[in-house]
Amino acid sequence: MNSIMKPQCNIQDIPDLCRIEDTPREDMQEVCMEMTHSVYPHDKIYGDFCSIQEYVNAPPEKVYEYLAETSNFLEWTFSLRDMEYNEQEDLYKFTDAIGGETKCFCRTVVNPEAMTVDYHCAWDQEKQLWMIYLMRVIPAELVFGKPGSVVLWTNCCHPFYKNNPHPELAPDDRKVWVGDMWPMFYAGHTIELQNLKKILEYRHAQDAQEA
């Protein structure tokens, strides 16, 4: 998992991805706001949990392997870029461009048998990784009776989303805290999960053609 994998193809070849390189932050916010008002109710937005799910037409083992490789954040997330990896601490550091020059730290905890991938993250510091992204891959054959995968993704609203525990570490010009965006987590994560789906299905289709 810790080796840095090169993309299997040019990410620009995959149509309709929503990434910060071609979708300005302001446009992303407008899309999220539209989804927020039309997709789910108020109590889901401001509740303690944010859970989403999606079917992916690709083998579950391949989906799990892709998620378990943290460096793939550079492809499917909206704004995590400029990756560094500290092998000694098994810790990744990204720039979260949605927060300007904000640093986002991540340690990935995986269980191959259960096909779970948990991203333990935090903005600004790496001492307490309190932003936990819980993901599980399920063989679609088990739940839908067809090939492919189901991806489940849940976040819990840690108290630090409401109160930045280390305001002194924020970049000087940053005007937003990650918790300010909690009302749009459902929409934003749904867009990223669609990125994940498109990338994996595109590459699975390519592999099938080459076989």
> Of 92, 111, 95, 91, whose CA–CA distance to 103 is shortest?
95
Domain boundaries, the chain: 24-177
- Name the architecture of domain 24-177: 2-Layer Sandwich (3.30)
> Of 66, 76, 131, whose CA–CA distance to 103 is shortest?
131
Q: What pLDDT band is residue 1 in, cutting at 50, 70 and 90?
A: very low
- Give me the mean pLDDT over the 176-196 stretch: 95
Task: Look at residue 33 in the predicted model and tell me its pLDDT.
Answer: 86
For the chain, the helix, strand and coil percentages under 3-state DSSP, each to the nearest 5: 40, 25, 35
- Give me the mean pLDDT over the 144-171 stretch: 97
- Give me the mean pLDDT over the 175-194 stretch: 95
* pTM confidence score: 0.87
Residue 79 has pLDDT above 60, yes or no: yes
What percent of the chain has a predicted confidence (pLDDT) above 70?
91
Residue 142 has pLDDT above 90, yes or no: yes
Task: Look at residue 39 in the predicted model and tell me its pLDDT.
Answer: 64
Task: Look at residue 137 in the predicted model and tell me its pLDDT.
Answer: 99
Neighbours of 55 (CB within 10 A): 16
**pLDDT digits over 201-210, tens only?**
999 999 999 8
**pLDDT digits over 56-78, tens only?**
999 999 999 999 999 999 999 99
- Give me the mean pLDDT over the 33-39 stretch: 76
**Residue 124 and residue 166 in contact, taking contact as beta carbons nearer than 8 Å:** yes
> Of 22, 47, 18, 43, whose CA–CA distance to 32 is shortest?
18
Instruction: Give all strands (DSSP E) within the chain, no chain letters.
Output: 49-56, 80-86, 91-96, 102-111, 116-123, 131-139, 149-156
